[in-house]
């Protein structure tokens, strides 16, 4: 009886611990710091990017105060939103537009590319128009340049590839290889569809890092990759000096659960090297 009681108590304690971890990883985020080096930037220089992806209209703190404070404190050169800022089920854009207003007040250089949930939402046109009205630069199949302290970078974007809204040719129109080039693509699977993408760094989301992960196994499932996916979060080398970075994102979809995969933002630094 004592052994049985101990086993039951241990099991209950384990369940409580798992529930506590799930709650923390779903509702509290971390800031992931990542660094890349490139000879296309002057030696000793740096350029920072705050990437936010797959929010799915989730709130962190009252009116996203915690999220806004972290973004402001990062002091990034630009902010990029790599899709699924809203969920397909979002019916009220009030809170997400409030967040966007805060972001554009923090940084005038806010860039966006669409995700599959934007396209699946009945309010998609209203959402896109609202971003434009608030000064967000929508880079679906577009590109631009940004200059800081004598550094120039190309920033290109594609519409969500998982819903066939991408036009890679148009996204790279008139872009040469002289400057460091960043491609924003909600779905990382674009690297499987297109060969030799002319970007030094591709920033993606979409996978949620698998959302639920287990030791020794990793992610159980990811959109577009099925069960036991190979590329769900982190840095992947596509070819020499060209990288794909997948941020595991902030929100959830289907099941409001994250496990061994905490919600996150990424602060990406590009450092100039000889």
Phi, psi of 221 (to 5 degrees): -155, 150
Report d(CA 184, CA 175) in Å as an integer. 14
Which of 199, 215, 201, 228 is CA-nearest to residue 259? 215
Packed helices 65-74 and 94-106: angle between N→C axes, nearest 10 degrees: 20
> Do residues 49 and 243 lie in contact, with contact meaning Cβ atoms separated by under 8 Å?
no
Residues 6+ apart with CB under 8 A from 164: none
Is the predicted pLDDT of residue 7 greater than 80, yes or no? no
pLDDT digits (tens, 9 = 90+) for 123-178: 999 999 999 999 999 999 999 999 998 899 999 999 999 999 999 999 999 998 88
In 10 A of CB 202, how many CB atoms? 24
Cα distance between the two ends of the chain: 70
3-class DSSP assignment, residue 40: coil
pLDDT digits (tens, 9 = 90+) for 36-91: 999 999 998 999 999 999 999 999 988 899 999 999 999 999 999 999 999 999 99
pLDDT of residue 2: 67
The mean pLDDT of 193-209, rounded to a whole number, is 95
Helices marked H in 28-75 — which ranges? Answer: 65-74
Residue 57 carries which DSSP code? T
**Boundaries of domain holding 65:** 2-272
> Do residues 272 and 45 lie in contact, with contact meaning Cβ atoms separated by under 8 Å?
yes
pLDDT of residue 128: 98
pLDDT of residue 15: 82
pLDDT of residue 258: 94
pTM over cut 0.75: yes
CATH code of residue 255: 3.60.21.10
* Mean pLDDT estimate for the chain: 93
> Do residues 147 and 154 lie in contact, with contact meaning Cβ atoms separated by under 8 Å?
no
Total number of domains in the chain: 1
Helices marked H in 75-188 — which ranges? Answer: 94-106, 116-120, 124-133, 168-171
Is the predicted pLDDT of residue 202 greater than 70, yes or no? yes
> Do residues 56 and 86 lie in contact, with contact meaning Cβ atoms separated by under 8 Å?
yes
């Amino acid at each position: 009886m004592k052994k049985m009681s101990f086993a039951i108590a241990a099991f209950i304690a384990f369940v409580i611990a798992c529930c506590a971890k799930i709650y923390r990883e779903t509702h509290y985020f971390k800031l992931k710091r990542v660094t890349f080096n490139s000879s296309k930037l002057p030696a000793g220089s740096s350029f920072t990017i705050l990437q936010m992806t797959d929010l799915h209209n989730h709130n962190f703190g009252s009116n996203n105060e915690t999220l806004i404070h972290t973004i402001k404190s990062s002091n990034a050169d630009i902010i990029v939103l790599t899709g699924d800022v809203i969920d397909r089920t979002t019916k009220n854009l009030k809170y997400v537009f409030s967040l966007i207003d805060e972001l554009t007040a923090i940084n005038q250089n806010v860039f966006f590319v669409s995700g599959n949930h934007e396209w699946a939402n009945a309010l998609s046109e209203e959402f896109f128009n609202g971003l434009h009205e608030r000064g967000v630069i929508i880079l679906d199949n577009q590109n631009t340049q940004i200059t800081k302290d004598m550094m120039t970078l190309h920033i290109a974007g594609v519409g969500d590839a998982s819903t066939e809204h991408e036009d890679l040719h148009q996204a790279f129109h008139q872009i040469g290889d002289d400057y460091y080039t960043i491609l924003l693509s909600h779905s990382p699977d674009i690297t499987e569809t297109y060969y030799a993408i002319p970007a030094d760094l591709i920033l993606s989301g979409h996978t949620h890092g698998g959302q639920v992960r287990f030791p020794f196994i990793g992610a159980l499932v990811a959109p577009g990759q099925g069960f036991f996916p190979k590329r769900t979060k982190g840095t992947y080398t596509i070819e020499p000096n060209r990288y794909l970075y997948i941020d595991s994102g902030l929100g959830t979809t289907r099941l409001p659960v994250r496990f061994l995969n905490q919600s996150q933002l990424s602060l990406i630094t590009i450092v100039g090297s000889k």
